[in-house]
Structure 1
Amino acid sequence: MFPNAAQYGQSAPVETSLIELALYGTVALIGAIFFLTILAIITLPLFFGAMYLMELVIRGFQNLVDPVGKYAKLAGLVFRSLRRNLLRTALTYIALFVLTGMLTMLYGVITTIGKMTTDQENSQLVIMSEKFGIPSMMKPGYAANLKGLMRDKLPKEMQPADIDQNFMTWSFVGGTLDPAKMTQENSLFLFALDPDAVTNGMMKEQGLNPEDLGEDGWAEMMRIIDLVKQDKRNIVVGADRLEKIGKKVGDEMKLFGTNYKDIEFECKIVGAFPPGSRMGMNAAMRFDYLIAKLDDYRARTGKDHPVADRCLNLVWVRMPNKAAYQQLAAVVAEPSSFSNPATKMETFSAAIGSFLEPFKDIFWGLKVLIMPAIVVIMCLVIGITITIGVRERWTEMAVMKVMGFQPWQIMTMIVSEAMLIGTFGGMLSTWAVYFLPMAIRSITKAIGVKFAFFDTFHSPWEIVLYGPLLGILVGLIGSALPAWNARKVKVSEVFATVA
């Protein structure tokens, strides 16, 4: 569905082998663990500071009348136990912070992909493409035919409010600055489309919208679009691609077509897509300039260009709802509508799903195997830490029973220790993963720098709540067995052993 450089005459990188993918994955995993560990160490003062403040508050209640004073003293024992071995407490917190951070990142990726591949009931962005051909190559007249079908065969309530403003065509143009020696450093991939498609919001999914660009960035994009409308030779190139090919805004260049052989495009760069954006490595030109060049080829050679009748690659339409899309898809599927070549309609989310189909087993493994395994490891970390602490305080537990502490009170104290570490570890980890990218986006936006990951990936807001809840759950499960064992401590056996 989506363009591949090699399919349009561009030089493409060598396919990544499974060994290389495993290597990249290992490096990414090590990098994530290192990054989260650094964050955990940085937030250690927050963890211990919060515990100290909570302990001070608890002390203020210890002199009150029972039962408030009694339970406050029991809570004070929880903080004293955590202070007994600060190194162990710190290491446990760091481990939970790192594991929660990894779990949060995986959850964010899987949730984002799930939302992207799930059809919505409201406004539907749908794509018409060639049914049996890869890459999709359709007749240029198909765009006007589709508009006609929408006006003639769809009820008024099933049509977009304004068909022209909710309609966009894409043609893919590959080019090189040096036809004798084509490399990544002198190649360019362009989307040929109507400039009004950007103004009408049809390129929103590609990052060309006020939300992604900001108020000033969107105003600058509108200024660039006005320049593109002034001359069909004017193009916009991503800032990252400009750097790679050694050009800048204002330069003029001759582009030799790679998928449109024997066609030369005289272009002037009048603007740049922001660095790090989804269009940062691509470029855009006017569709009518491509058509004009195909007409020039026919006038020059006396025959049509080999791909002149197949120069339309994708047609995008924003339909009002899912029912409208389904009705349009049924009309397009009729043989009388489009037959040479046949076409199909699918939603943007379905197209992404098809694109990600080869990776579905990996996502399944992350969701069903890796994420539950991380939760189990977190429970084991808590369980081992609390078990060691209980063993060290076995005699103390017996003394507490002699002093009148009930078994449930001892059990509650131990579980509270685990839940306290788990809550802070989960909360600070998820908050760091959620709020840190937001802070980086704000800073980079202020200084005019963009990073692709931070500008396009947004963690789901619910992780801010899930982090502390996960910490509480992990603390409860992990400490259940050692707390139960401490509850059953027998005073006579402990003192007999001591004697």
Structure 2
Amino acid sequence: MKFLILVVENIRRNLVRTTLTSLGTMMLVLVVTLVFTVLTTLDAVTTEKSANIKAIVTEKWQIPSLMPYSYAAGLIEGGAAPDDPNAVRPQDWMTWGFFVGSTESNPAKRGYENLFFSFIMEPEKARTMLDNIDALNDQQAEVLNEAIKKIQEKRNGVIIGEGRLAKLKKKIGDRITAYGRNYRDINLELEIVGTFPKETSQYTDSAIIRRDFFETELDTYKASHNNKPHALADKSLSLVWLRVPDRMSFNKLTEQILTAPSFSNPPVKCETSSTGIASFLDAYRDIIWGVRWLLAPACMLVLSLVISNAISISVRERRIEFAVLKVLGFLPWQILCLVLGEALLIGTLSGLASAGLAYGVINGVWGGLPFPIAFFPKFAVPINCLWWGAAMGAATAFVGSFFPAWSARGVRVSDVFSKVA
């Protein structure tokens, strides 16, 4: 305890240097924490699972995937023949289409602030098939359940994430018109009936509209254009999600779908959700590699140099003090531990404080880290960041302070006092 008190007192002796070192540590730990937040989320969604597997069925040769909606009936049965008792059928399913539009009617004024991106799906499937929904507690899940109940009552209802509501300057109960961009000339009159829980930052900029409502709008377009269907009327199905219990079931399901003649024009592919997302992220592969292996190590190196510089200055100024400590009976290893302890205390507490602030502010105030990659508009900072921050601060403090501490250990009493004399 006395040793710890001595370490704390030494830190307090030069508050300006300690504060600047601490702030530098906090800033660099913050950067690395944000980097790890993105990387750990991407690693989690691209890691293969052995149970409770979600499969994605998409068009085989085209991106974006555009399949006829007629495929849905067969795919949600896993491509199984009706009279085949040995066939594997999904435990759950969800269809996805995408409607991209704008709430601004004038194309010249359209921008990100009035963008409207929506999943065309069965709203009730949001409870069981959307990622991260199963992690919500009862109170958070009730927000989504209430929104689903209302959209089931209103065919033109829409559920919109809180982030997008704020950008559109709208609230629940307002009406909007979404002017189609991928579905040109399809303009949807919608009523906002609910929002996603703020804890689901992945969907903060997204929306849900009912599949049956959208199919009706396509029929309305056909009736108003001399019975001529919309160009994408038979290409409104982008993805089908299927849940199976294990890898063996997934392999059997894939075989059923790929060999079914009803899914041959256009042909489809079936892959696990992790594989599908990894393929989708291929366009970001170089960026992710650079962030993981260049940016993060560079921040750690800079942080070590910052601490090393601060401790080196402190050691040079305190050579007489270390000589006196030796005269008083302090052993070299005790002086080494004293200097290392000062650096480790600053680094650990600064790293922990930085990570704690990141966790509280980014998740609690911002609703997630706004760093759009693919279909991830925001990333929630995990609770693990608290030990990341402390560990990064401690590790870089140790590396940066070791050589200055070793220099302090080797101070020669005779040399120091001969110069003073």
Alignment TM-score, normalising by the size of structure 2 = 0.81
- Does the CA contact (< 8 Å) of 1:190 and 1:283 recur in 2? yes
User: C-alpha distance in 2, partners of 1:400/1:245?
Assistant: 66
Residue 220, structure 1, aligned to residue 146, structure 2: yes
Q: Which residue of 1 aligns with 2:257?
A: 332
Q: Deviations over 1:306-352 (max 9, x none)?
A: 44333322222122233322332233233735211011112333333
**1:129 equivalent in alignment to 2:63:** no
| Partner residue, 1:91 | 20
Q: Which has the higher helix share?
A: 1
**Aligned equivalents of 1:408, 1:474: Cα separation in 2:** 20
Task: Indicate conservation of the 8 Å contact 2:311/2:401, yes or no.
Answer: yes
2:209 is aligned with 1:285: yes
| Partner AA of 1:498 in structure 2 | V
Give the 5 Å matches for 1:425-464. Answer: 425-440=350-365, 453=370, 457-464=379-386
Q: Provide the secondary structure at the position in 2 that maps to 1:140.
A: coil
Cα 1:371/1:269, change in 2 over 3 Å? same
Does residue 168 in structure 1 map to residue 97 in structure 2? no
Distance (Å, rounded) in 2 between the aligned partners of 1:476 and 1:180:
59
- C-alpha distance in 1 between matches for 2:192 and 2:69: 27
Distance (Å, rounded) in 2 between the aligned partners of 1:88 and 1:492: 29
2:128 matched residue in structure 1: 201
Kindly state the Cα deviation for residue 216 of structure 1 after the two structures are TM-superposed.
Answer: 4.5
Equivalent residues of 1:210, 1:217 under 8 A apart: no
For 1:96 and 1:135, how far apart are their aligned partners in 2? 44
Shift in Å, 1:462: 2.5
Higher deviation after alignment, 124-133 or 327-336: 327-336
User: 1:124-167 deviations in whole A, cap 9, x for unaligned?
Assistant: 22221111123322122211222444444987695334xxxx22
**Which of structures 1 and 2 has the larger relative contact order (alpha carbons within 8 angstroms, sep 6+)?**
2
Query: One-letter code of the match for 1:144?
Result: A
- For residue 157 of structure 2, give the secondary structure of its aligned residue in structure 1: strand
CA distance in 2, matches of 1:160, 1:480: 58
CA distance in 2, matches of 1:341, 1:305: 18
Cα deviation for residue 475 of structure 1 reads: 2.8
Q: Does the 8 Å contact 1:159/1:320 carry over to 2? A: no
Hey, what's the Cα distance between the residues in 2 that align with 1:287 and 1:217?
A: 21
Does the Cα contact within 8 Å between 1:379 and 1:478 map onto a contact in 2?
A: yes
- Structure 1 residues 406 and 472: CA distance shift in structure 2, 3 A: same
* Residue in 2 that maps onto 1:109: 38
Residue in structure 1 matched with residue 390 of structure 2 by the alignment: 468
Q: Which moved more, 1:143-152 or 1:294-303?
A: 294-303
CA spacing shift, 1:247–1:184, aligned 2, 3 Å? farther
Q: How many Å apart are 1:177 and its aligned residue? A: 7.7
- Structure 1 distance, partners of 2:102, 2:307, is 58
**Aligned equivalents of 1:468 and 1:262: distance in 2?**
54
Other-structure match for 2:374: none
Quick one: which amino acid aligns to residue 201 of structure 1? T
Cα separation, 1, equivalents of 2:230 and 2:341:
76
Distance, in Å, in 2 between the alignment partners of 1:422 and 1:128 is 48
2:157 and 2:235 map into 1 onto residues whose CA distance is 22
* Rounded Cα–Cα distance in structure 1 between residues aligned with 2:383 and 2:166: 35
Tell whether 2:244 aligns with 1:319: yes
Amino acid at match of 2:382: P
User: What CA distance in whole angstroms lies between the structure 2 residues aligned with 1:216 and 1:106?
Assistant: 32
How far apart, in 2, do the equivalents of 1:420 and 1:399 lie?
Answer: 23
Question: Number of matched residues?
Answer: 408
Instruction: Please list, as runs of the form range in 1=range in 2, the aligned pairs for 1:299-448 lying within 5 A after superposition.
Output: 301=226, 305-334=230-259, 336-440=261-365
Following the alignment from structure 2 to structure 1, what is the Cα–Cα distance between the partners of residues 192 and 87?
A: 40
Partner Cα distance (1:217, 1:349) in 2: 28
How far residue 221 of structure 1 moved from its aligned partner, in angstroms, is 0.8
Distance 2:59 2:237 in 1: 10
Please name the residue that 2:173 is paired with: 249
**1:416 counterpart SS class:** helix
Corresponding residue of 1:191: 119
Which runs of 5 or more residues in structure 2 are unaligned?
372-376
Q: Is the 8 A contact 2:117 2:206 kept in 1?
A: yes
Secondary structure of the corresponding residue to residue 94 of structure 1: helix
